[in-house]
Amino acid sequence: MIRLVPITALYSALCALLILTLSARVVLQRRATRTGLGDGGQDSLARAIRAHGNAIEYIPIALLLMLLLELNGSGGVVLHALGSTLLVARVLHGWGLSHSAGLSFGRWYGTALTWLVLLAAAALNLFAVLY
């Protein structure tokens, strides 16, 4: 039997668009600073690289946990709560890091919300397996 996972598919697609946006920002910064490799000592390029890299580090595991929850029958409300929070968190983080190398509203709340999604999704998966 084929099981569809439309909610995880939705947030995977939206997160992919976010990752492409962050990737484009790196490319544009590389062109503007004429930097082929690394950050060339350019602060704006370094921030763009980290915003992209950070998204790549966190988004896949969150989506994997969501996929497992959806395959195991979690309700749409839970999945949409996780997915929308993840997307908002990653946009906040990317925006915050793109505008400041230091602590900012976007970075702080983006990180906190991302960790909350990971913790909740991990706990829900553990609960589903153990009970």
Amino acid identity, residue 117?
A: V
Q: Quick one: pLDDT at residue 103?
A: 84
Q: Each residue of 14-67: pLDDT tens digit?
A: 999 999 999 999 999 999 999 989 999 899 999 999 999 999 999 999 999 999
Given a contact cutoff of 8 angstroms between Cβ atoms, the answer to whether 97 and 47 are in contact is yes
- H, E, C per residue of 44-98: HHHHHHHHHHHHHHHHHHHHHHHHHHHHCCCCHHHHHHHHHHHHHHHHHHHHHHH
Tell me the longest C-alpha to C-alpha distance in the chain.
56
Residue of 114, 116, 120 lying closest to 18 (CA atoms): 114
Is the pLDDT at 1 greater than 70, yes or no? no
